[in-house]
Amino acid sequence: MTTATPPVAAPAVGWTLERGATLLPDGAVHFSVWAPHASAARVRIQSGPAAGEHPLVRANGTPGLLSARVPDVGAGADYVYLLTGADGETRELPDPVSRWQPHGVHGASRVVDPAAHAWGDAAWRGLALADYVIYELHVGTFTDEGTFDAAAADLPRLRELGVTAVELMPVAEFPGRRNWGYDGVHLYASHSAYGGPDGLRRFVDAAHALGIAVVLDVVYNHVGPEGNYLDAFGPYFTDRYRTPWGRAVNYDGPDSDEVRRWVVDNARYWVREFHVDGLRLDAVHGIFDLGASHVLREIGEAARAEGAAAGRTVVVIAESDQNDPRVVRGAAEGGLAMDAQWADDFHHAVHAALTGERRGYYEDFGDVGRIAAALREPFVFDGGYSPHRRRKHGGPSAGLARERFVVAIQNHDQVGNRATGDRLSVLLEPEALRLAAALLLLSPYVPLLFMGEEYGETNPFLYFVSHGDEQLVEAVRTGRREEFAAFAWEGEVPDPQAEESFRRSRLDRARLADPRHAAIQQLYRDLLALRREEPVLRPGAAPHRVSHLADSDGGWITLLRGDGADALLAIFNCSAMERRVPLPASAAGGWALRLTTDGEGYGGRGRVPDSLGGGVGSEDGEGPRRLLVSQAEATMPPWTAAVYHRQARGA
């Protein structure tokens, strides 16, 4: 055993990551690990001049903190911690703040030089949320190669499509080579099969060169079961709360300060060392903290502070199923101060109305009125009774900026958590699929596309894992079967562990050679161009008014964006029959066709009128959502959307 020199912290330049292995300018490495459960600890360097074991000593100020400065280690060295527990047993374990796990979740950690990458994005300043068009992708199935570099090669196509932000499903090291990423156990280590930390940096740099922001999906509500050695280090988990995915993280119990630091530092780390523009926080309703300063607020403040220090706009987006406006309200209003949150009611309303599905949470939706409600406000359930939940659900979203809500018609959850991973492209007829795209991209919110949606990909997106623990594998299989039995699913549930489930989930961009798929992509491209070209379509830029009629056959919706000369009127026929849709009174005057999903270039038949208008409006009904009826009408084919721009009087 060699003798380590006294611990010396890395020189501070703004914020730096102090836990884990910090490479110093002279080639030494400062190792720092919080391990209050260990009675003694050493670090073993596996190769090079510093190969061997080096003792870690208690640091002053933080109970349970152990550290050492080991000379002549250098970048690229692999290391493990040797922790001796209270029982006297010594275990060889990877670093809980490892920057890279090249040998997988069970193997040694590797020293990384975060300054080695020559960044080319010095001029990049990020984007405002209102300018986000998010494209969610899973690195492993987005391309045949399943790497960051291969994904980066397709970024020019996405930019040409009109995408302005790419959201990566979690990339933190998970067991095996096939996983959605929500079983990650090394929060700081970019997955090795994807290309490790260097690959992620190249991806972000390539995105910024094209003007595309990068949002990273991070999981702070639980840690995956396989390769999770955190109990040997300290009290990372608590039994005070329960989550559906695993043990709750200890954010407010005894010894929780360093656990909070572990995730707050992680948020800073992705912004500082990888230049990401945003974080998407998975299922924040599974993050429990009854302290005076909620950990979510600290995460958001830390991420934005790192962005500000670099002169870049950084956003934090939360996933929550609670329809709770406090998620995006400011701290002064008692909120969590997230920049935005997912609003799933929009998806549920569109999906249920267009597919006819009514099982599970879709029983709360179904008629066209629910789509209209989701266009008015992101939370359809804003305190009203939910039959599915059998209780009142949500709170009012009125008054909150529209750019603070992200909506989708497909995403990894809503596709992948179906028994056979089937997409809307196989559930809907082409006309209804085009209508769904228009509802999304003409909505007043920030849109999110799921990879392949833009050209009607028909390959499924299945749930897949590659665990090494056979008992865990069987538990996952059983859990999936039981989950879908509750939805009265009678077919065979694909095996999550089978490599075939992973292979079937890959995108097949060769379909773009098929005119039918190319036409869908052209519709998405044109709708996104419309969003860029028409100022009133930017979230929060102009008021919007919604009218609708719902009946047993479906119904129709009108959406008026803006009220001046640059106003746009969108009409949606959400039924299988031709509809005569009255223009709302506030849309009196003349209107010229700007775009229709029934256009021949998109696979339609060109039956939408080129112009509308003339009549003076009158009002029918009572209450704040009364139907506004005009003397002018639009005859709309089944399952069709059309957008009109206001004509000058006399035109």
Residue 442 has pLDDT above 90, yes or no: yes
533-646 CATH pick, 3.40.309.10, 3.30.230.10, 2.60.40.1180, 1.10.8.100 = 2.60.40.1180
Average pLDDT, integer, range 581-604: 94
Q: Which fold has domain 129-434+446-463?
A: TIM Barrel (3.20.20)
Q: How far apart are CA 339 and CA 562, in angstroms?
A: 24
3-state helix/strand/coil string of 451-501 = CCHHHCCCCCCCCCCCCCCHHHHHHHHHHHHHHHHCCCCCCCCCCCCCHHH
pLDDT in tens, 521-540: 999 999 999 999 999 999 99
- The C-alpha atoms of residue 523 and residue 410 are separated, in whole angstroms, by 16
Q: Which residue has the higher pLDDT, 627 or 127?
A: 127
Of 3-7, 37-41, 105-109, 570-574, the range with the lowest mean pLDDT is: 3-7
Copy the structure tokens of residue 151.
């994904």
Long-range contacts of 139-143 (CB under 8 A, 24+ apart): 139/168, 139/169, 139/171, 139/191, 139/194, 140/177, 140/178, 140/179, 140/193, 140/194, 140/502, 141/451, 141/461, 141/502, 141/505, 141/506, 141/507, 142/451, 142/506, 142/507, 143/506, 143/507
Q: Which residues contact 600 (CB under 8 A, 6 or more apart)?
A: 606
In Å, how far are 442, 466, 529, 547 from 625, measured between CA atoms? Answer: 20, 51, 31, 7
> What's the rounded Cα separation, in Å, for the pair 482 and 480?
5
Exposure string of 146-172, with b = 16+ CB inside 10 Å and e = fewer, is: bbbebbbebbeebbebbbbbbbbbbbb
Lowest mean pLDDT among 72-81, 90-99, 467-476, 501-510: 467-476
pLDDT band at residue 625 under the 50/70/90 scheme: very low
Domain with CATH 2.60.40.1180 in the chain: 533-646
Average pLDDT, the chain: 93
- pLDDT number for residue 649: 40
What span, in angstroms and rounded, lies between the C-alpha atoms of 632 and 617?
8
Q: What is the pLDDT of residues 375-421, one digit of tens each?
A: 999 999 999 999 999 999 999 999 999 999 999 999 999 999 999 99
Report pLDDT for 238.
97
Identify the CA nearest to 466 among candidates 422, 441, 496, 437: 496
DSSP state letter for 387: T
- Give catalytic status of residue 282 as yes or no: yes
Query: Burial code of 633-651, b = ≥16 C-beta within 10 A, e = fewer?
Result: ebebbbbbbbbbbbeeeee
Residue 646 has pLDDT above 50, yes or no: yes
Q: Alpha helices of 356-427 — where are they, by DSSP H?
A: 368-376, 412-416, 424-427
- Report H helices in 534-619: none
The residue among 372, 377, 345, 380 whose CA lies nearest residue 361 is 345
Percent of the chain with pLDDT over 90: 88
Residue range(s) in the chain whose domain bears CATH number 3.20.20.80: 129-434+446-463
Of 183, 265, 277, 282, the active-site residue reads 282
Return residue ranges of the chain for CATH 2.60.40.10: 20-110
Residue 87 bears catalytic tag: no
Question: Which superfamily, per CATH, for 20-110?
Answer: Immunoglobulins (2.60.40.10)
Tell me the average pLDDT across 493-513.
96
**Distance in angstroms (rounded) separating the CA atoms of residues 156 and 583:** 40
Among the ranges given (117-121, 221-225, 614-618), the one the predictor scored with the smallest mean pLDDT: 614-618
The single residue of 319, 364, 367, 598 carrying the catalytic annotation is 319
On the question of pLDDT at 335 being above 70, the answer is yes
